[in-house]
Amino acid sequence: MNVLEPHEWRHKTIVAGTEWKNPVGTASGTFQLDACGDYYDVSQMGAICTKGVSPVPWEGNPSPRTAEGPSSMVNAVGLQNPGVDHYLVDELPRLKKLGAMVITNVAGHSDEDYAQVVEKLADSEADMLEINVSCPNVSHGGMSVGTDPVVLSRLIKHLRTLTDKPMIVKLSPNVTDIVQIAHAAVDAGADALSLINTLVGMRIDINTGKPIIANRTGGVSGPAIFPIALSFVWRVRQAIPDIPIIGIGGIDSGEKALEYLYAGANAVEVGAAALVDPTAPMRVARELDDLLDSRPELAAKLAKGQTW
Amino acid sequence: MSATAFMPTVTTGTVERQANQAGRKPGRRTDEVIRASILSEGIYELVIRDPYVACTVQPAQFVNLYPADARMALPRPFGVAKVDDDDVTLIYQIVGAGTAEFSLLQAGDVIDVLGPLGKPFDTSKPANYVLVGGGLGVPPLLYAAQKLSERNDGTQVTSVFGYRDARFADDLVAPFADKTHSIVNAEGNVVDLLNDIEDELSSADHPPVILSCGPTPMMKAVAAWASKRDIPAQLSLEARMGCGYGACVACVVDTPSGRLKVCKDGPVFTIEELGWEA
């Protein structure tokens, strides 16, 4: 029951021209090959979305980096990563050798940062790029890009000229009108959208009166954000019928993944649930695969990459 | 909410076989509580039946326990204190809602578990292993004493435990240690004890190797004491963790090599790795 048996996938899905074994991927920031690969065969996931990759190594934020909220976690890791050059010689080749479909999450503090990473990935084995314009835990770049449609549009237009790879733009929920932001990304050349990134939140230690997290605020994820994230996917789908959408937020079961598909997502990514059980992404993928057996119309849409 | 709210899918010996067949570690699973008792005032002992942990865990490795109340999304990490056949003993103190929930467990209840996790102490060489622990850093050292006592290579075990008040672990370590020493807060600290027994350590058959676990200020003091004397030391760090298995990168410690994950790169580090030389 605890070690997952091999599974024959029945419901592949097409996202922006890429074929996934199933509609379930890992969410950025919750997957580390050296940790998660101990628990399941990562090549069997629909896609592996890597942690944010920056042009140079980032040491991230000081500790403590996490706190617990009601049915949620608050984190401010700050995109600690060894940089794109290390990623290209170490992590990406290992993921591709395993046979995984790889979405490389691209992080930056400036337009030039993003451009450097995208340029270096343009001829790499990465299958898709996910532009992280929505991390709430970096002081420059991240969410400050993804909350301004003009700034976002300028960035995506520039990145579009640098790569032919399918480019996903990951949206922030911390905006007044996500539909406006989504339109800006799509009009600038995004091939797909993923949403949502974490919501800004915090916890305070009542013994000290000070924030628990060293960064003071962090990103909220986990089951608590599920209904919120689902509504964001639904709203963007209503406004933009023909763009692939990857739904993210609070998915810890096949049933919740199915709700995202009905809301208009073409695929989903599992994040915080994997921090509670490392096998959760694979378990969700299997549960959804089984559920789709009784939803032939939905399964056919996924297989054709149709949107809703 | 009671832990019994979960459907009991109690672990059996098949977990280990499944893991071996798949070449993978088992994920979160549900274990049966064999015994739950108060060890000392505010100190609780929890015995769970987990054959996989029992046959694979090494000293300083830990397991995640998950509150049944789903409002608490994150696991709580606990070092293993003892293993008897398929049964794994954990010792803890109530520090928040999660541990408060665990303190209500009774024999026959169930609890969700993941592990063993983390990098263990390196005890590959025969030595006089000096186990230096403070507070709730003591339980992982109890398991180190148990494992080291099983060897027949001249390895010796000396315990040096510091307690806030009650000496809750002296009786537990005694069957496995060649020499035991302890001190309570009012009498001093473990560095005072180390000073007291310095001659004893140098007269043992093997040179000393310190294995330590406890609050960070204590560990820094132990590191300073050991490095001044060129005594090798391995320190098992405590940290506020997210996942506990290396995915979330929440529990980092600053080292000369950058920010390392306590849960996956550790919890055991050498003084040199941490840059904590005196």
Partners of B249 on chain A (C-beta within 8 Å) are 32, 51, 60, 65, 77, 80
**What percent of chain B shows pLDDT beyond 90?**
85
Confidence band of B140 (pLDDT split at 50, 70, 90): very high
User: Closest to A2 (Cβ–Cβ): which among B27, B245, B247?
Assistant: B27
Mean of the per-residue pLDDT values for chain B?
91
A222: contact with B, CB 8 A cutoff = yes
Residue A264 is predicted with a pLDDT of 97
Q: Measured between CB atoms, does B29 come within 8 Å of chain A?
A: yes
Q: List CB contacts (< 8 A) between A251 and chain B.
A: none
Mean pLDDT in residue range B157-164: 96
Contact B70 A71 (CB under 8 A): yes
Q: Token pair 């001190």 is at which residue?
A: B183
Q: Which residues of chain A are within 8 Å of residue B72 when distances are taken between CB atoms?
A: 68
Residue B210 has pLDDT above 70, yes or no: yes
Q: Give the list of residues 6+ apart from residue A198 with CB closer than 8 angstroms, or none.
A: A75, A135, A136, A173, A218, A219, A220, A221, A225
- Chain A positions touching B22 (Cβ under 8 A) are 3-5
Q: Is A103 left (phi over 0), alpha (psi -120 to 50) or beta?
A: beta
Considering only alpha carbons, which residue of chain A is nearest residue B31? A2
Residue A64 contacts B, CB cutoff 8 Å: yes
Q: What is the pLDDT of residue A144?
A: 76
Query: A49 catalytic, yes or no?
Result: no
Given an 8 Å threshold on Cβ–Cβ distance, is A77 in contact with B259?
A: no
> CB distance B74–A2 less than 8 Å?
no
- Range in A48-57, A140-149, B11-20, B86-95 with the lowest mean pLDDT: B11-20
Chain B residues close to A138, C-beta within 8 Å = none
Which chain A residues have a beta carbon less than 8 Å from that of B66? 276
Interstrand relation of A47-49 and A66-69 (parallel, antiparallel or unpaired): unpaired
Q: Determine, for residues A276 and B240 on separate chains, whether the beta-carbon distance falls below 8 Å.
A: no
- Is B242's Cβ below 8 Å from some Cβ in A? yes
The verdict on B100 touching A (C-beta cutoff 8 Å) is no
Strand B156-163 and strand B128-134: pairing? parallel
Q: Which among A1, A57, A66 has CB closest to B248?
A: A66
B242 and B261 Cβ atoms separated by less than 8 Å? no
Q: Say yes or no: A60 contacts chain B, CB-CB below 8 A.
A: yes
The band of B23, judged by pLDDT with boundaries at 50, 70 and 90, is: confident
Closest to B73 (Cβ–Cβ): which among A2, A32, A72? Answer: A72
- Which chain B residues touch A29 with a CB distance below 8 Å? 248
Choose, out of B24, B95, B114, B117, the residue to mutate when testing the contact with A (most A CBs < 10 Å).
B24
Please answer yes or no on whether B74 and A68 come within 8 Å at the CB atom.
yes
Question: Closest approach of chain A CAs to the CA of B146, in angstroms?
Answer: 28
Contact A223 B15 (CB under 8 A): no
Catalytic residue among A77, A100, A103, A135: A135
Question: What pLDDT does residue B4 have?
Answer: 36
DSSP per-residue letters across chain B: --GGGS---B--THHHHHHHHHTS---SEEEEEEEEEEEETTEEEEEEE-HHHHHH--TT-EEEEE-SSTTB-S-EEEEEEEEETTEEEEEEE--SHHHHHHTT--TT-EEEEEEEESB-----S--EEEEEEEGGGHHHHHHHHHHHHT--SS-EEEEEEEESSS-TTHHHHGGG-SEEEEEEGGG--HHHHHHHTHHHHHTSSS-EEEEEES-HHHHHHHHHHHHHTT--EEEE-----SSSSSSS--SEEEETTEEEETTTT-BEEEHHHHT---
Say whether pLDDT at A245 is over 60. Answer: yes
Distance CA(A46)–CA(A24), nearest Å, equals 5
A68 touches chain B (CB under 8 A): yes
Task: Please give the average per-residue pLDDT across B157-178, as a whole number.
Answer: 95
Closest-CA distance of chain A to residue B194, Å: 31
Q: What is the C-alpha R_g of chain A?
A: 18
CB-based contacts of B264, cutoff 8 Å, min separation 6: A34, A35, B117, B118, B119, B245, B246
Q: pLDDT tens for residues A190-237?
A: 999 999 999 999 999 999 999 999 999 999 999 999 999 999 999 999
Interface of A with B in 11-40 (CB under 8 A): 29-32, 34-36, 38-40
Model pLDDT, residue A78: 94
Q: Give the tokens for residue A251.
A: 């998915």
What are A19-77's pLDDT values in tens digits? 999 999 999 999 999 999 999 999 999 999 999 999 999 999 999 999 999 999 999 99
Determine contact: B70 vs chain A, CB below 8 A. Answer: yes
